[in-house]
Amino acid sequence: MSPPAVLASSGLAKDYGDGFGLHPVDLALGAGELVVLVGPNGAGKSTLIGLCAGLLEPTEGTVTVAGQAAGSLGARAATSYLPDTPVLYDDLSVREHLEYVARLHGVDDWQGGAEELLARLDLEDRADDLPSRFSRGMRQKVSLALALIRPFDLLLVDEPFVGLDAPSQATLVELLIEAVAGGACALVSTHQLDLADEAGRCLGLRDGELVHDGGSSRDTVRALVTG
């Protein structure tokens, strides 16, 4: 018997009433899968991520995380969500952000993991600064560290490469690979071709329709993005 899916949807759809949204989607993503979600702007990628994160209410269908309804306490505990725009507190330093998120999710020995993330994302010299004053790229790196400091079964990431320089993009790819190797499932909305090489699966959306669920490659991503 195959293990249960980490992320599963059945007839999952969202109708905004303006011709945009998501048509019914059936998915089953398992532990240890790195999946890229691609498509043109307005294809429904952020809608699918938001539904899986429990931030949007579906018009029809269901979606579960680790067997529990998306948005429930159990599903939220199993899901680490990285939005396309970093959400940070104005009055907490980078290190205080990491401690807060780690302790919120029951990680008592958070310091070692925090220091490793700070070093790998080149944030060591800014650890005691307020990220509210950072550039877009620096804020994105802080947001990445927060997503990875806590335990999760499912990692949902919406356009994580925006604002990152080339070394930081390479580090992010490494961190995503390591998370998946550790048993997590990662669904990443992106056009980044470097990640397409590493992903084992690609989901392609166009006009709210799932038009591709299969192998991932640079050529596949290019074709799905450009239409």
pLDDT digits (tens, 9 = 90+) for 108-162: 899 999 999 999 999 999 999 999 889 999 999 999 999 999 999 999 999 998 8
Kindly list the distances between the CA atom of residue 96 and the CA atoms of 84, 114, 136, 210, in Å, as whole numbers in the listed order. Answer: 22, 10, 19, 40
Q: What are phi and psi of 62, to 5 degrees?
A: -135, 155
Residue pair 154/80 in contact by the 8 Å Cβ criterion: yes
> Residue 124 gets which letter from DSSP?
G
Report residue 51 as tokens: 């539904």
What is the identity of the amino acid at 181?
A: A
Please report the domains of the chain, with CATH numbers, ordered by start residue. Answer: 7-86+152-226 (3.40.50.300)
Q: Which parts of the chain sit beneath pLDDT 50?
A: none
Q: Is the dihedral of CA 75, 80, 83, 84 positive or negative?
A: negative
Kindly list the distances between the CA atom of residue 177 and the CA atoms of 151, 191, 194, 196, 198, in Å, as whole numbers in the listed order. Answer: 15, 17, 12, 12, 8
Report residue 122 as tokens: 């080149």
**Global pTM?**
0.94
For the chain, give the mean pLDDT.
Answer: 93
Q: What pLDDT is attached to residue 33?
A: 96
Q: What pLDDT is attached to residue 41?
A: 87
CA–CA separation, 85 vs 211, rounded Å? 27
Residue pair 63/20 in contact by the 8 Å Cβ criterion: no
